[in-house]
Amino acid sequence: MRSPSDMPEPATAGWIPEEPVGVPPLLQWPPRPKKILGYMFGFPGFYFPWIALYALFALALWAALVAVGAELKSFSLNWIAPLVAFNLLLAIVVYGLWHHRLYSRRAQGTRFKYNPRWLADEDKKFLFGRPTASNVFWTLGSGVPIWSAYAVVTLWAQARGIAPTTTWAQSPIYCTALMFALPFFHAVHFYVFHRAIHWAPLYNTVHYLHHKNVNTSPWSGLAMHPVEHLIYFSGALLLWVIPSTPMHVLFLTTVVGLAPVHGHTGFGKVVLGRYTMDADNYFHYLHHKFFTVNYGDPLLIPLDRLFGSFHDGTRRNPVARHVGRGSKDT
């Protein structure tokens, strides 16, 4: 299996969370209702602020499509072009702002940075020989078009009666519950497909591109091979099987399109004046660092434990093996 070759563990350790990675309250036993509610609905929590913000983005996109009189039964540029443009702008703003603050401005230096080294300006193993330019290219040139294509085709299938539909007026409880459930479905889908593409033939031809990034940054989150993008966004096919509305389609594809930024900032926290907020998913950072651990989302730690691939971030953890020792970090 081809593995990252230019990413040693830095000589000087970066920031490490005070507590090892643990099972989220939702999965702890015995259940603690107060902790569960805080984890799910607190600020920051599972839904707030990011998933709720992405729901607002999806709502804004749907409102824009309604405003332009989108006739979803036909593949028309009248509605496809605004949808693609919206997603492109969304990716540029979300990924770009995180990168600008943390890496271009270096607004907080290496404070809370997992790996104290900054990204290499040049590295021949990346497209164009420039890591950030390569990641931007794969994100905007492959990720956004495939993200948008899944949304377009699924909306079209709903309008044509190919995919099952419902309405908020007909099924308000079901539609609300589905909105809350879709991020959990994405977590399960991600785990399954991620384990699959670590199979050597798929890794060597597809997933290796994403793993060129070990010292991760925001633009590396959606920097994938087009085949991986096709698999990554395929969770939208769930809505070809169960009843949903256009809002669910746009919400799910938006969450899937923007969620990678939170596992790849390379910083545990972002400092905004006197306020410090969580910025990254340390659980997934460990996957990029050690390669053979933490394939899923923190919600699915029990699955990584079951299959012996869980790493809690402590150096005594015996599961991980570091790859690519002895050469330059990127």
What pLDDT does 302 receive? Answer: 83
What is the per-residue pLDDT across 55-104, written as a single tens digit (0 to 9) for each?
999 999 999 999 999 999 999 999 999 999 999 999 999 999 999 999 99
Cα torsion 127, 219, 325, 207: sign:
negative
What pLDDT does 218 receive? Answer: 97
Residue matched to tokens 């290796």: 208
What pLDDT does 321 receive? Answer: 53
What is the per-residue pLDDT across 150-159, written as a single tens digit (0 to 9) for each?
999 999 999 9
pLDDT band per the 50, 70, 90 thresholds, residue 6:
very low
DSSP 8-state code for residue 10 = P
Containing structural domain, residue 296: 63-306
Domain annotation covers residue 198: yes
Domain annotation covers residue 25: no
DSSP 8-state code for residue 21 = -
pLDDT at 142 over 80: yes
Domain annotation covers residue 159: yes
Domain annotation covers residue 89: yes
pLDDT at 323 over 80: no
| d(C-alpha 291, C-alpha 139), whole Å | 21
| d(C-alpha 163, C-alpha 151), whole Å | 12
pTM to 2 decimal places: 0.92
DSSP 8-state code for residue 6 = S
Span 204-227, average pLDDT: 97
Domain annotation covers residue 220: yes
pLDDT band per the 50, 70, 90 thresholds, residue 273:
confident
pLDDT band per the 50, 70, 90 thresholds, residue 320:
low
pLDDT band per the 50, 70, 90 thresholds, residue 316:
low
- What's the structural domain count of the chain? 1
What pLDDT does 274 receive? Answer: 84
Span 5-21, average pLDDT: 66
| d(C-alpha 161, C-alpha 218), whole Å | 38
Domain annotation covers residue 41: no
What pLDDT does 13 receive? Answer: 73
Domain annotation covers residue 314: no
What pLDDT does 58 receive? Answer: 98
| d(C-alpha 176, C-alpha 64), whole Å | 21
What is the per-residue pLDDT across 105-126, written as a single tens digit (0 to 9) for each?
999 999 999 999 999 999 999 9
pLDDT at 7 over 80: no
Q: Tell me which amino acid residue 130 is.
A: R
| d(C-alpha 46, C-alpha 37), whole Å | 10
Helix pair angle (144-159, 246-258), 10° resolution: 170
Domain annotation covers residue 3: no
pLDDT band per the 50, 70, 90 thresholds, residue 306:
confident
| d(C-alpha 21, C-alpha 224), whole Å | 26
**Of 1 and 239, the one with more pLDDT:** 239
pLDDT at 324 over 80: no
pLDDT at 216 over 60: yes
